[in-house]
Amino acid sequence: MARLMLPDAVPNMNREQLIRRLRARALRGGLAEQVWWNGELLHVSEALARASDLPEDEPIQARGDDVVVLRQLQWNDS
């Protein structure tokens, strides 16, 4: 499986760190209310719901408004 890395991403972020980060974005409001979750644009409330459903030890990468959960990526080898 190919390895996706976000340049300057917070490596190996855990679920609780991601939830704190998303809550901070929600408090900022405006454009900060949206995040990219594995390439899908979501409202921060949906991202928070997805984050709370992740296993505690799920490896997560995040940078700015990008969140990558490697296990959830769908690879297209065509």
pTM: 0.75
CA distance 59 to 1: 15
Domain boundaries defined on the chain: 10-72
Per-residue confidence at 78, pLDDT binned at 50, 70, 90? very low
What's the whole-number average pLDDT of the chain?
81
State whether residue 48 is helix, strand or coil: helix
Tokens of 69: 């959960």
pLDDT in tens, 28-37: 877 668 999 9
pLDDT in tens, 2-35: 345 555 656 678 899 999 999 998 888 776 689 9
For 9, counting Cβ atoms within 10 Å of its Cβ (0-12 exposed, 13-18 middle, 19+ buried), the class is middle
Q: Read off the amino acid at residue 30.
A: G
